[in-house]
Amino acid sequence: MNSTAGIFPNPWYKRFFARLAGIFRAPKPTGPRLVDLRGKVVLMDNDELLLVWERRLRNIRLQKEEEAWNKFEAQYGAGNPQVTQAFVNWQEGLYRYIEREKERFLRVRPGSLPALDKLVQQGARTIVVTKGAKPYTQKCFHLTGLSSSITDIYSPPPGSRQKQFADAVRDHGINSLQQCLKDAIVVGHDLDLDMAWEFVPPKGPGNDGHAPVFLLLDTLAFEKDVIAPLDAMTEVIELLVTRGRNNIWRGFNALRKAPYATTPNYQFKVGLYNHPRLQSKARIPVVYDVRRIGVGF
């Protein structure tokens, strides 16, 4: 783990104020059915997890975005902050089209609002980590009614399209990889694109499983129901925290002894995953095959 410890350098006073802000920001859980998730950080993808796009129009959108980004890089130079500003301005026109065609273009994963609101109510921070521009993402959340349920959005710095997982956890009081294992969970539909790979140690003796838990949910198809609506995410996180006695990573390891685990409404499998493209990385802890009880594996 020492090889990645440099991800979290931070002056003491920033750590102090981050923790102080977290105390005031996180509401105290109330009621017998709530789990104390204060200090826990849920790092989420947005496209195809929270928001779903009609497939043909989504493919067109992604292609146009890539073309626009490459055009601005050619114009201003790779890494230039002007690239991001030009891209943000270009996305304004895209957003106006989405707003006009919302009903046939954009939907929200079933169960999103109650699932996210319950996490926040219990003290967790719901953080979207995206490679898209923040203003555009904010507008899409506002358009779909998700804005009030999202604690924060992290987009790349000017001139980049790399997701900022390290900034997201550090700004919310997590200052070491050990604390990241305990207090952070990554949620997405694509292990390749949605996992915080910078937190995963290199392949080596004793490194397997020493990474943040990744919760894999099925892709939301625009024209179909999902196997697990987003409330499954909340139930899985509650179980991991409860079984791990306030430690997400320890909860995952406690559940590995059984063929599958069960929440009030869902069952799922846990295991270690070795990414075929990232052979230099250790295996990561993954919650997968989440489905409603009664559907079966």
Residue 47 phi, psi dihedral angles, 5° rounding: -65, 130
Q: What is the pLDDT at residue 13? A: 52
Asked whether 292 and 225 are in contact (CB, 8 A), the reply is no
Asked whether 153 and 128 are in contact (CB, 8 A), the reply is yes
Query: What is the rounded distance in angstroms from the CA atom of residue 59 to the CA atom of residue 137?
Result: 17
Q: Is the pLDDT of residue 26 over 70?
A: no
DSSP secondary structure code for residue 247 in this structure: -
Would you state the structure tokens that stand for residue 20, as one six-digit string? Answer: 């102080």
Class of domain 2-51+108-292: alpha beta
Would you state the structure tokens that stand for residue 183, as one six-digit string? Answer: 């207090």
Q: Is the pLDDT of residue 116 over 70?
A: yes
Q: What is the pLDDT at residue 270? A: 96
Higher pLDDT, 29 or 147: 147
Residue ranges of alpha helices (H) inside 26-54 are: none
Residue-wise pLDDT tens digits, 36-52:
999 999 999 998 899 88
Over the chain, what is the mean pLDDT?
A: 86
110: region left, alpha or beta (phi > 0 left; psi from -120 to 50 alpha): beta
Structural domain boundaries of the chain?
2-51+108-292, 55-103
Q: Kindly state the average pLDDT of the residues 179-200.
A: 95
Q: What is the pLDDT at residue 297? A: 57
Q: Kindly state the average pLDDT of the residues 145-155.
A: 95
